[in-house]
Amino acid sequence: MLDVYRLRRAELDVHSILCKYVDAPVVARDAAGKPQLVGGAIHFNLSHSGELAVVAVSDAPVGIDVEQQRAIADPAAFARRFQFDTTDQRELMRLWCRKEAWLKARGIGLAGVTARMDLRGWFVADLELAAGYSAAVARAGSPMEICVIDWSGDVTIARKISR
């Protein structure tokens, strides 16, 4: 039940965030199930894991992923299946976040998870959000400035990461 509560809270936070970009955001899901703003030029994506929820907002297709670091039972099999060139657990989680963010930005989600990443025309960046987590954001187009905002209660902390 706690995960349902966190997901609902994250959805409400997303609505609050989107209100900063459009007056009355209406969110619908596309054919692949990806949430999108109806009639808007703003793109967004949401991910949650453990205690964190993250949102990416952009003027181009965007995807974001966060994963609480955990042990991978068979790192070699994981690396083979998802076409990664390492068996280091932390690196696998970092690469997984990059891949999932890129897939979500493309609007295909996990359907293309075994495909090798072709990043031509895409900007992908790792995010350092909290100890014990890996995270990444992907956006169609050229590099961008990333602003990470801690949306905890009444406190908002922003830091810019230039890429």
Q: Could you give the CA distance from residue 32 to residue 108 in angstroms, rounded to a whole number?
A: 7
Structure tokens at 81: 């299946």
- Cα-based distances in Å from 73 to 67, 83, 156, 163: 16, 17, 37, 34
Report residue 101 CA to chain centroid gap: 5
Confidence band, pLDDT 50/70/90 cuts, at residue 14:
confident
* Surface-to-core class of residue 63, CB atoms within 10 Å of its CB (0-12 exposed, 13-18 middle, 19+ buried): buried
Q: What is the mean pLDDT of the chain?
A: 82
Q: What is the pLDDT of residues 130-162, one digit of tens each?
A: 899 999 999 999 887 787 776 655 444 444 444
Q: For the whole prediction, is pTM greater than 0.85?
A: no
Q: Is residue 98 pLDDT above 90, yes or no?
A: yes
Over pLDDT 70: what percentage of the chain?
81
Closest of 142, 132, 55 to residue 101, by C-alpha:
55
Contact between 110 and 96 (Cβ < 8 Å): no
- The pLDDT score that the predictor gives to residue 97 is 95
Q: Could you give the CA distance from residue 110 to residue 35 in angstroms, rounded to a whole number?
A: 15
Q: What is the pLDDT of residues 35-59, one digit of tens each?
A: 888 887 888 888 888 888 888 889 8
